[in-house]
Amino acid sequence: MSIDRQRTFGILAHIDAGKTTLADRILFDTGARPRLGQVDDGTAATDWLRQEQERGISITAATAHAIWRGVDLQVVDLPGHVDFSAEVERVLEVVDATVVVVDGTRGVESQTVTLWHLAERLRLPRVLFVNKLDRVGYDYDASLRAVTERFSVVVAPLVVPLADERGAIGGIGNALTGAVQWFAGEPNERQRAAMVDAVRRANAALVEICAGCDDEVLEDFVEGRPVGEVRLRAALRKAASAGALVPALAGSALRNVGVTWLLDAVVDLLPDFEERVVPLLPAPGPEQRFLGRVFKIQHVDGSVLAFLRSASGELRVGDLVWASGRSTPFAAAPLCQLVGGVSRAVTAVRPGQIVVIEGDHGLRTGDVVVRDGPAPPRVVGEFSRPVLTVTFEPATAADVPALRAALAEQLTDDPTLSVDPQVGDGPISVMGLGELHLEIVADRLRERTGCRFRVSSPAVATMTSVAGTGVGRAEVRADGGAFAVVEVEVAPALELAPTLCFAPGLPADDAVREALVIRMRNGFDGGGPVGRVSVVVRAIAVGGQAEGPMRAQAAEMALQRAGRAASLVTLEPSIHFEVVCPEEFRFGVVADLNSREATITQVASGVLGTRVEGHGSLRRFLGYATRLRSITKGHGRVLLTPGRMIDVAAPES
């Protein structure tokens, strides 16, 4: 299939907006799946891990393939929970567009904002799907206004809600084609007349929106000439691909209403692979040799799956390929495509396709794979840093090797996970993005190894910084007159990652550099890694046979003294919270948030209850989900999104 007949897109949404249900309906409507699945009973095609089926949430990015109107659709169902943001980030680096799902009863939510800005940063065209229009309390217009105002974008509604005889929503009309989909039954004659008028007005509004970004449509609009469906669709495609507007559709994924119109919009309005320049895919070579980027590694049931998107050329099963940093090739076999957890063998890979190379070939996220070596360097994006830490305490020392081996596999799969590298028979320190993230890691570790271990209560992963500038000088002497003197200056910095340099004219010293890097990783005085600090080596003096270890020891001591002289401060993660609960529990929720010294920025009440937003210290929100369930008798929910690192002595305002 040629690349001008291909659409590759990720589905983004806040948790519980209906994203996975929508993905399942897409597979059913395109014929890629013979029956409908349900998230609640664990039969959705793209939620195939046991942990996903049991919890009813997406944990891992799941790929699927379908055909609609002769176009190859590569669909990626992405997690909506913030703890699994790495899955979203690495997939968005290689797709061509996104479908953003908004719950029509709740509007734009906090994770919607995060995901939207991520797609915007990667310049991904977007199509909006307002879901759950069959639910009590839906507000289509309010959802569109929220998107317009929150993201400063032009929204082009392609769908208009149509009222039934009781005044509630009965169906939807298509402003582009004039077609109608009804939720149940058939509209009566009076409703038919009303819907014709509603669709006509929606079409006129759509023409006016397109006139703002297309000169030809503008000319016809000013002159009062009609703008046909073909012209209007072409204007929408051009503007949507350029990011000048966002087409908006709507319906109910659960009831499979509006999904086929969304598929039409994906085919008609989103770019194909040839039209997109994907920043983190390797640029095709002059001879169009095969080039692809590994964007995800996953260990499943003893197999290693490397998810790859092709950038150019063709790869056939069994071809020899080279990967970044490797001097020897390996055979690309077997090759397959996945629909959730179901594998389908393929014999060749063409430009733009997403495939899986099975087998333990030592591949890592970001590796570039080529058919004719050597391969270019790895292409790696930035991922969120861990904010919570727990310890896994094995029941027996004999279990430690198996646990560490399984954790090493999970580290390959998950770039946001971190494990204490110190080897021993004792507890293993593991860092992750949140309580749910670490809970899933522990669950999958037990599943892989069968080992028993206790998980400690989570603690916040802190960092150490400085309040001012400080200079430290240290001298180390040895028998025979050898000595090493190192002088270091530290100062506050804006970037979270520390920086290290040598003063102008001072030659770099590898032993000093390595010692300072290790010390910064472990902290000035062992109190957590160093952050928001610039380190300058101001002077190095040696005498006699001052070997590297002496210079390294002097450098470590000098850095410690410089940190103390600059006044050490502790940094810890802040969080943004969004709490939704019934109105009757509002005051109890707000009182509890105040007791946690949280800053509340918004309290809004609506048909579905109260929404409270704000920020605070992550440390004070450990275990908050359990407390919220108690306060609201199980009817409250919360999303905690890690924010920037703050000085615990000077909380974020």
Question: What's the Rg (C-alpha) of the chain?
Answer: 28
What's the pLDDT at 189? Answer: 83
Mean pLDDT of 253-274: 94
- Interatomic CA distance for residues 246 and 128, integer angstroms: 7
What's the pLDDT at 231? Answer: 92
Asked if residues 257 and 173 have their Cβ atoms less than 8 Å apart, the reply is: no
Closest CA to 296 of 402, 374, 420, 381: 381
Query: In this predicted model, what pLDDT tens digit does every residue of 78-110 receive, in sequence order?
Result: 988 878 888 888 899 999 999 999 999 888 888
User: Does the structure show a pLDDT above 70 at 284?
Assistant: no
User: Does the structure show a pLDDT above 70 at 4?
Assistant: no
What's the pLDDT at 470? Answer: 96
For the ranges 147-151, 552-556, 596-600, 606-610, the lowest mean pLDDT is seen at 606-610
Please give, one letter per residue, the 3-state secondary structure of 512-537. Answer: HHHHHHHHHHHCCCCCCCECCEEEEE
Q: Most confidently modeled of 28-37, 185-194, 611-620?
A: 611-620
- Interatomic CA distance for residues 430 and 387, integer angstroms: 11
* Phi, psi angle pair for 203, to nearest 5°: -65, -40
CA distances 425 to 214, 390, 401, 411, 454, Å, are 67, 16, 8, 20, 14
What's the pLDDT at 158? Answer: 97
Asked if residues 128 and 134 have their Cβ atoms less than 8 Å apart, the reply is: no
Domains and CATH numbers, the chain: 3-274 (3.40.50.300), 291-370 (2.40.30.10), 388-460 (3.30.70.870), 468-566 (3.30.230.10), 571-647 (3.30.70.240)
Mean pLDDT of 560-587: 92
pTM for this model (two decimals): 0.84
Asked if residues 130 and 102 have their Cβ atoms less than 8 Å apart, the reply is: yes
User: Does the structure show a pLDDT above 80 at 395?
Assistant: yes
Determine the straight-line distance between the first and last CA of the chain, rounded to whole angstroms. Answer: 55
Of the pLDDT bands very low, low, confident and very high (cuts 50, 70, 90), residue 3 is very low
User: Does the structure show a pLDDT above 60 at 415?
Assistant: yes
Asked if residues 87 and 79 have their Cβ atoms less than 8 Å apart, the reply is: yes
- Measured over all CA atoms, what is the biggest interatomic distance in the chain, rounded to whole angstroms? 105
Of the pLDDT bands very low, low, confident and very high (cuts 50, 70, 90), residue 246 is very high
What's the pLDDT at 1? Answer: 39
For the ranges 132-136, 449-453, 552-556, 647-651, the lowest mean pLDDT is seen at 647-651
User: Does the structure show a pLDDT above 80 at 181?
Assistant: yes
User: Percent of the chain beyond pLDDT 70?
Assistant: 95
Which amino acid type is present at position 255? R
Pair of tokens at residue 198: 């509603």
What's the pLDDT at 185? Answer: 78
What's the pLDDT at 97? Answer: 96
3-state secondary structure of 338: strand
User: Does the structure show a pLDDT above 60 at 2?
Assistant: no
Of the pLDDT bands very low, low, confident and very high (cuts 50, 70, 90), residue 554 is very high
DSSP designation for 257? B
Angle (deg, nearest 10), helices 510-522 and 548-565: 40
Give 55-62's long-range contacts (Cβ < 8 A, gap of 24+).
57/15, 57/81, 58/19, 58/20, 58/84, 59/84, 59/87, 59/440, 60/84, 60/87, 60/298, 61/10, 61/87, 61/88, 61/90, 61/91, 61/296, 62/23, 62/338, 62/340, 62/341
Spatial neighbors of 548 by CB under 8 A, at least 6 apart, are 510, 511
* E-only strand ranges, 518-636: 533-543, 568-581, 599-606, 609-617
Query: In this predicted model, what pLDDT tens digit does every residue of 19-48 receive, in sequence order?
Result: 999 999 999 999 988 787 777 666 677 766
* Phi, psi angle pair for 520, to nearest 5°: -65, -30
Query: In this predicted model, what pLDDT tens digit does every residue of 495-547 receive, in sequence order?
Result: 888 999 999 999 999 999 999 999 998 888 776 789 999 999 999 998 887 78
Query: In this predicted model, what pLDDT tens digit does every residue of 343-387 receive, in sequence order?
Result: 889 999 999 999 999 999 999 999 999 988 788 888 877 777 888
Query: In this predicted model, what pLDDT tens digit does every residue of 311-353 receive, in sequence order?
Result: 888 999 999 999 998 889 999 989 998 876 678 899 999 999 9
Mean pLDDT of 396-416: 91
User: Does the structure show a pLDDT above 70 at 490?
Assistant: yes
Mean pLDDT of 582-591: 93
Asked if residues 82 and 111 have their Cβ atoms less than 8 Å apart, the reply is: yes
